Amino acid sequence: MSQTVVLEQNAVETQSITLKFDGCSSDANPSPIVNPENQSITIKFDDQASNHHTIPVSIPNVDSETEAAVNEFLRKHGSSDEESVRTDAMNDLWSFIERQEIGTVVVLVKFASDVKNFELLEIFCQRVADVIAKKTVEEVREIFNIANDFTPEEEQAIRDEHRWAFED
């Protein structure tokens, strides 16, 4: 469903414009429609975060196969209110994401956040968390290209502080 922003020109005394929001905003570009009768301007957002989205999104920095998989999810997930259909869509997307490089998933996390799609954000963040959970500290640094700025003594101090959590 698209969200509507209604701009109403008030009566003579104030000549001000009231902005009324109906639903949440989106980052998509609006196109204004002017209603001459009451002088209101309606801006309709094609909400890309909507559950009934049908227009494919374009995702920067990922390959076409990934973009297609995300769009398939959005289409399927938005096409039905039935829990089983939505769960299938999530499972399909999840299986696809599990086969992708972590770098791609990090891009997708940013994308999901930018378009405010919380279902996508959940899936992608959970995947990144799952990958982190399986890795050693050094592997986490490699995969996410993080520089180690601790001295060996500082690192040891952290391990000592939380002895119980380190199995080796």
Partner 1 sequence: MESRPNSTTVVGFSLLPSELIHYIIIRLALPDIFHLKSVNKFITSLIADQDFRRDYNLRSSSSTWLFVYKKRWHRDPVVVHGFTRSSERWFKVMIGDLLKPVIPPGEDLYFLTASGNFFLFALNCSREVISVNPMTKNVRKIPHSPLGPRGTSSWRRSGIKLLAGPTGSGQFRFLFAEMVDNSPTLFEYDSRTNKWKSTIASESVASPSCIEDGDRIFLSASNGPRRSIVISVGIDTNEPVVVQPIFSGVVEDGELAVGFSWGSVINRLHIYGDGRMLIVRSGPESVDDVNQGIRVVKVVELWGLGSNGRQWAFVSRVPNGLIDEIKKPYGVMMGCLEERQGTIGAILMSNFEGVWDIVWLSFDLEKSKWALEPLPEFRMEGSNMAGVTFSSGLTIC
CB of 124 to partner 1, least distance (A): 9
Nearest approach in angstroms of CB 145 to partner 1 is 5
CB of 78 to partner 1, least distance (A): 23
- Which residues contact partner 1 (rule: CB under 8 A)? 61-62, 103-104, 106-107, 109-110, 113, 121, 125-126, 128-130, 132-134, 136-137, 140-150, 155, 158-159, 162-167
3-state secondary structure of 40: strand
Q: Could you give the C-alpha distances from 80 to 34, 54, 85, in angstroms and in order?
A: 33, 12, 7
**Closer CB to partner 1, residue 35 or residue 61?**
61
The nearer residue to partner 1, 32 or 103, going by C-beta atoms, is: 103
Query: In this structure, which long-range contacts are made by residues 64-72, counting pairs with CB atoms below 8 Å and at least 24 apart in sequence?
Result: 66/96, 66/100, 66/104, 66/108, 69/93, 69/96, 69/97, 70/108, 70/120
